[in-house]
């Protein structure tokens, strides 16, 4: 299993909380796998934990949109039956990944905005207030950034903390999930790669599971996650992640990718200064960054 908490220039003082948050999420997900639970349950559990951790740009502690509202996107995919669920622009759901899971189990694949929230209420998914999602840290950041929104050159120097997880279970099934608040001071209604199946998340038992983070607009156009899983057909997981980064060249995009392939091998690669992640390989060896 492998989890991530964003890829950007994570400053020295923030690296410990990012690594620890990823390790805690990995431990919770791995516990599910150790009691023979499903990869789908493991990634949902890990990502829900990262959403609750205000260190990251997902769930509580997310960046605010231009209008001062937290708008959340998430996706989840099951590799054995290609079922997928995604939600975008939700503002009153504590754990968007849990809502995405309920969408996966329904006749829908993607729900957005008001309809997604009505579905959440009907499905009994835990609601929350904006007051709960918005932290003082992010309210202060927003007050500064609205005075002068970041340029594209500054984009990767400002915090990015999208989260994700990929798991391989004892039944041989792969699952992946991604969750984000999107970039700071985003246009209200803006949707990036994270809830787009094939862009921000993909899983197939035939190849691999992938979750990515970084410049979402580019990843949608590059169909990045899906192409990363294809790269795994011809290479070990780590080499496939390295190859996936080369696919970003035409758009000079930056980001990070995590993978678990059909052999249960993990991989992680990024072309940003740092990436927060934690992994456990098939032998039980733990690795973490930054």
Least distance in angstroms from the C-beta of 214 to ligand ASP: 5
Least distance in angstroms from the C-beta of 255 to ligand ASP: 7
Separation CA 200–CA 194 (nearest Å): 4
In terms of CB distance, is 33 or 87 closer to ligand ASP? 87
Active-site annotation holds for 162: yes
Q: Which position among 19, 94, 160, 254 is part of the footprint of ligand ASP (CB under 6 A)?
A: 160
Tell me the window of 13-21, 28-36, 85-93, 192-200 that interacts with ligand ASP (CB under 6 A).
Answer: 192-200
Site string for ligand ASP, 116-155 (x = CB under 6 A): ----------------------------------------
Separation CA 68–CA 195 (nearest Å): 21
Q: Which position among 213, 225, 229, 279 is part of the footprint of ligand ASP (CB under 6 A)?
A: 213
In terms of CB distance, is 15 or 123 closer to ligand ASP? 15
In terms of CB distance, is 28 or 258 closer to ligand ASP? 258
In terms of CB distance, is 79 or 192 closer to ligand ASP? 192
Query: Would you say 169 and 154 are in contact if contact means Cβ atoms under 8 Å apart?
Result: no
Q: Which position among 5, 54, 209, 216 is part of the footprint of ligand ASP (CB under 6 A)?
A: 216
Separation CA 66–CA 276 (nearest Å): 26
Which residues are within 8 A (CB) of 263 and not within 5 positions of it... i.e. 6 or more apart?
A: 237
Three-state DSSP class for 82?
A: coil
Q: Which of 162, 213, 229, 272 is catalytic?
A: 162
Q: Is 62 in the site for ligand ASP (CB under 6 A)?
A: no
- The first and second tokens of residue 42, run together, are 């493991």
Tell which residue, 26, 23, 21, 20, has the closest CA to residue 167. Answer: 26
Separation CA 17–CA 86 (nearest Å): 28
Residue 91's φ and ψ, nearest 5 degrees, are: -125, -5
The Cα-based distances of 180 to 52, 148, 250 in angstroms read 12, 23, 25
Site string for ligand ASP, 5-44 (x = CB under 6 A): -x--------------------------------------
Least distance in angstroms from the C-beta of 199 to ligand ASP: 9
CB atoms closer than 10 angstroms to residue 271: 19
Tell me the window of 97-105, 212-220, 264-272, 279-287 that interacts with ligand ASP (CB under 6 A).
Answer: 212-220
Separation CA 204–CA 253 (nearest Å): 25
Burial of 283 (0-12, 13-18, 19+ CB in 10 A): exposed
Q: Which residues sit at the interface with ligand ASP, rule CB under 6 A?
A: 6, 57, 160, 162, 180, 182-183, 192-194, 213-214, 216
């Amino acid at each position: 299993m492998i989890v991530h908490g964003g890829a950007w220039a994570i400053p020295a003082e923030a690296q410990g909380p990012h690594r620890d948050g990823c390790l805690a999420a990995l431990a919770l997900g791995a516990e599910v796998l150790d009691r023979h639970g499903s990869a789908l349950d493991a990634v949902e559990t890990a990502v829900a934990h990262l959403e609750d951790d205000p260190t990251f740009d997902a769930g509580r502690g997310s960046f605010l949109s231009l209008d001062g509202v937290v708008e959340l996107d998430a996706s989840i995919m099951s590799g054995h039956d290609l079922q997928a669920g995604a939600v975008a622009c939700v503002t009153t759901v504590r754990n968007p990944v849990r809502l995405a899971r309920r969408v996966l189990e329904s006749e829908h694949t993607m729900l957005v905005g008001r309809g997604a929230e009505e579905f959440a209420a009907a499905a009994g998914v835990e609601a929350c207030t904006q007051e709960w999602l918005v932290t003082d840290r992010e309210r202060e950041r927003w007050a500064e950034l609205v005075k002068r929104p970041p340029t594209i050159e500054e984009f990767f120097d400002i915090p990015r903390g999208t989260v994700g997880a990929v798991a391989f279970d004892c039944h041989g099934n792969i699952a992946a999930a991604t969750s984000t608040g999107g970039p700071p001071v985003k246009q209200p209604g803006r949707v990036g790669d994270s809830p787009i199946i094939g862009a921000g998340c993909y899983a197939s038992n035939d190849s691999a599971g992938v979750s990515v983070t970084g410049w979402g607009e580019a990843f949608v156009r590059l169909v990045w996650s899906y192409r990363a899983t294809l790269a795994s057909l011809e290479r070990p997981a780590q080499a496939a992640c390295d190859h996936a980064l080369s696919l970003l060249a035409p758009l000079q995009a930056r980001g990070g990718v995590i993978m678990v392939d059909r052999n249960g091998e993990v991989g992680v690669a990024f072309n940003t200064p740092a990436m927060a992640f934690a992994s456990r390989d098939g032998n039980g060896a733990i690795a973490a960054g930054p």
